[in-house]
Structure 1
Amino acid sequence: MQTLTIHDAIGQAIAEEMRRDPSVMMFGEGVATKRGDLLQEFGNKRIRNTPLAEGIIAGAAVGASAMGMRPVIDLLFAPFLTLAMDELVNSAGKLRYLSGGQFKFPLVAMAMTGTGWAVGAQHNHNLEAWFVHSPGLKVVMPSTAADFKGMMKTAIRDDNPVLFFVEMAMTYETGEVPNGEHLVPLGRAAVRRTGSDITLISYGKTVRACEKATSLLAEKGVFAEVIDLRSLKPLDEDAILASVRKTGRVLVVHEANRMCGVGAEVAAIVAEKAFDALKAPVLRLTSPDVPAPSSYPLELAFAPQADAIMAAAESLLVQSTNKAEPALAVNAG
C-alpha cells in the first residue's frame, strides 16, 4: 500500500494510463501547470493548458475521441460545465448511439464540486444529477483515494464518455492506495460500514459525514450500514436493495439539493422494488434549494453534517417504532 492525496492518486492513474496507451492525452484549464510531472514526462503534445473556453475544450475532446484518442479534460469547477452542455450532452452522450455503434467516444471530463473552499455559488454547484439524467453519459463521484485512482483508470479505458466529479474539499486528503495495477469497476457501490438497523446511502464527501454519524449512533446502540454509491451512473441497484432488505430503514444523504437529485432516484428504486421490506418511509437529507454560500461557516450549515444525519436516522427509528406519520424529506439548512 501507498499513502497518496486524492490529487496525486488521480495524477498517478492518468500517468499509468498514458504510459500504457499512447492514445491517452490530457488538456484543460491549468492542467499542465497543476500537473507539471505529467508535462515533464509526456511533453506538451499530450499534456497542455487551454484557454478558458469550456465548450471548445469539450468539443475538441469529442472530436479527438471520435478520431481514436482517449482525452481526459479538466474543466475546473462544476458550474463551468454549463458552458459545455451541448458538447457533453448532445455530442459526447449521443453520437455513439447515433452512429449505430460504429464510433466510440472515450473521454473523461473532470470537474470539482462541493463545499469546503468557500468559492461561492458560481464556482460551487452540485450538478451531478443533470448528467445522470443525460443518456449516453456515465457519472462517478468517489470518496476515497483508492477509488479515485481505480475509477479514473477504469473511466479512461471505457469506450463511453464519463463525467468524473472531484469534491474540492477532499483534493488533498490522504488515503491508502494499492500498489501496482488497481482498477475499480463502474456501476458497483461499496459498503463502508456494516449494520443491521438502518442504511445510510451517500456518495462523495458526505460519505465521511455518514461514517462519523454511524460512530455516534453506535454509542447509542444503533448500528447503521453505510453504502457509498461512488458510481452514480451506472447505479448499483443490487447493493442498495440488499442493504434495504437487511435493515428496513433508508436515509439517503447528499450535498446536492433535494429536488430531482440522485436521492430521489434511490428513493424511487427502493419504493418500487423493496417496499415490502421498509419499516418506515425513505428519508432524504440534502442541502437546501438555494445557491451555495461563500462563507465557510455558512457552508458547514448548508451541507449535511454528522449531527444532522444522526438526528434524521434517529427520527426514522422512532417512526418505525411508533408508526407515526413521517416527514418525507428534510434539508440540512
Structure 2
Amino acid sequence: MTSMTSELAVMAALHAAMATDERVLLLGTGVATRQTALLAAFGAERVRNTPLAEAGVVGCALGAAAMGLRPVVQLQSPLRALDLLAHVPPLGPLSGGQFEFPLVLLAGAGDGLAAAIFRCIPALQVLLPGAPAEAADLLRGALGQPWPSLLLIQP
C-alpha cells in the first residue's frame, strides 16, 4: 500500500470542499491538466488553468474572494507574487470590514525561504504541515477563514 503524499491529501480535501461549497474554485498554471478528477467533477469554470503570471493570478483571486468566492491558487513560486501578497492582509481591515479575502495559496515548501519571508507579513496565515493528514486539515481550516492563507506543502 502506498502512503498518501501531502499533495494528494490536499487535493482530496479540496475535492470534498468543492463538492460541499460551490464558492470554492482552483486556479493555477496547469491545474486543469494535472487535476483531471477535479476538472471532470467540477468543470472548467471552477478548475482553471492560468498563465504563469502569478501576481496577476493572485490579483484576480483577490477580486474573486472580495466578491464572495473562495479561490485556491496553486503557485509555482509564491515569491513571484510577493509584492502583491505583502498588501493583501490589510485589505480587510482597511475596507472597514466590508470585504473579506478568503484566499488560499498553495505552494511547495521548498527550502523554507518562502515560509521565512511570508511569516513577516502581518495577518497572512502561513501554514506548514508536518504530515499529509495535517495538510488536508489545514486546507479545510484555511477555507473557512475570512483572511488569506499560504499553505506550504511537501511534494
Q: TM-score band, normalised by the shorter chain?
A: over 0.9
Matched, 1:86 2:52: no
Normalising by the residue count of structure 1, what TM-score does the alignment of the two structures yield?
Answer: 0.44
Q: Distance in 1 between matches of 2:96 and 2:52?
A: 33
| Cα drift, residue 46 of structure 1 | 0.1
Q: 2:129, 2:121 → 1: CA distance?
A: 19
SS at match of 1:143: coil
> SS where residue 127 of structure 1 aligns?
helix
Match among 91, 96, 99 for residue 95 of structure 1: 91
Cα distance in 2 for residues equivalent to 1:82 and 1:148: 21
Partner of 2:100: 104
Report SS of the residue matched to 1:103: coil
Q: How many residues align?
A: 154
Contact 1:72/1:108 (8 A) holds in 2: yes
In 2: Cα distance, 1:108 partner to 1:35 partner: 17
Cα deviation for residue 108 of structure 1 reads 0.4
Partner of 1:144: 131
1:10, distance to aligned residue in structure 2 (A): 0.6
Equivalent residues of 2:124, 2:147 under 8 A apart = yes
3-state SS of 2:72 partner? strand
The one-letter code sitting in structure 2 at the alignment partner of 1:137 is L
1:14 alignment partner in structure 2: 14
Partner of 1:154: 141
Conserved in 1, the CA contact under 8 Å of 2:109 and 2:128?
A: no
Contact residue 103 and residue 148 of structure 2 kept, 8 A:
yes
- The secondary structure found in structure 2 opposite 1:114 is coil
Larger Rg: 1
Q: Distance in 2 between matches of 1:30 and 1:154?
A: 25
State the SS of the aligned residue for 1:4: coil
Regions of 4+ moved over 4 Å: none
Q: More relative contact order in 1 or in 2 (CA 8 Å, sep 6+)?
A: 2
Alignment-derived partner of residue 225 in structure 1: none
One-letter identity of the residue aligned with 1:6: S
Which has a greater percent of strand? 1
Shift of 1:155: 0.7
CA deviation profile, 1:280-323 (whole Å, cap 9, x unmatched): xxxxxxxxxxxxxxxxxxxxxxxxxxxxxxxxxxxxxxxxxxxx
1:88 positional shift: 1.4
Return the letter of the residue paired with 1:112.
G
**What CA deviation, in whole Å up to 9, does each residue of 1:174-210 have, x standing for no partner?**
xxxxxxxxxxxxxxxxxxxxxxxxxxxxxxxxxxxxx
Shift of 1:5: 2.5
In structure 2, the residue matched to 1:127 is 114
**Residue 69 (str. 1) matches residue 69 (str. 2):** yes
Shift of 1:4: 2.6
Amino acid at match of 2:35: R
1:113 to 109, 112, 122: 109
Given residue 166 of structure 1, which amino acid in structure 2 is its aligned partner? I
Q: Per-residue CA shift, 1:77-125, capped at 9, x if unaligned?
A: xxx32321232121x211001012221100001111325xxxxxxxxx6
Q: Which amino acid aligns with 2:116?
A: A
**Counterpart in 1 of 2:47?**
47
- Paired residues of 1:62 and 1:87 also in contact (CA < 8 A): no
Give per-residue Cα distances to partners, 1:251-280, cap 9 Å, x unaligned: xxxxxxxxxxxxxxxxxxxxxxxxxxxxxx
- Judge conservation of contact 1:113–1:166 (CA < 8 Å) in 2: yes
Whether the 8 Å CA contact 1:58–1:73 is kept in 2: the answer is: yes
3-state DSSP of counterpart to 2:75: strand
Identity of aligned residues (%): 39
- What TM-score do you get using the length of structure 2 for normalisation? 0.93
Unaligned runs of 5+ in 1: 116-124, 172-333
- 1:271-310 equivalences in 2 (<5 Å): none
